[in-house]
Amino acid sequence: MPKVTYITPEGERVVVEQAEGTLMSAAVENQVSGIDGDCGGVCSCATCHVHVDEAWTDKVGPAGEGEKGLLELEDGVEENSRLGCQVKLTPELDGLVVRVVGR
């Protein structure tokens, strides 16, 4: 299980050791500010929008088509934008850093 660092909209660094599931589910479980996960992780609300640290974009991979459609409607979208519900946490992502966009 990987360690993930979330940087909240307020600039607080929240480190989740042994994060499980997706970026969104681990954030909600650990009460990370700015990630609501209103849709429960079915890629329909974009309340888990994050910017993946540039060092990790290749390992995390690009957004899928459905994800891109939702991101097009969001403010603050960048090339490294992802929806946390669509990023499955794997051992290869140990050390991942993301910045929470928030609303």
- The secondary structure of residue 91, as a DSSP letter, is G
For residue 23, the tally of other CB atoms under 10 A from its CB is 31
Instruction: Indicate the CATH number of 4-100 among 3.10.20.30, 3.30.43.10, 3.40.50.10330, 2.40.50.140.
Output: 3.10.20.30
Per-domain boundaries in the chain: 4-100
Q: How confident is the model at residue 77 (pLDDT cuts 50, 70, 90)?
A: very high
Q: What pLDDT sits at residue 81?
A: 97
The pTM of this model reads 0.94
Q: Residue 102 pLDDT more than 90?
A: no
28 Cβ contact partners less than 8 Å away, ≥ 6 residues apart? 35, 36, 37
Asked if residues 97 and 83 have their Cβ atoms less than 8 Å apart, the reply is: no
Q: What pLDDT sits at residue 36?
A: 93
Asked if residues 47 and 61 have their Cβ atoms less than 8 Å apart, the reply is: no
Mean pLDDT of the chain: 95
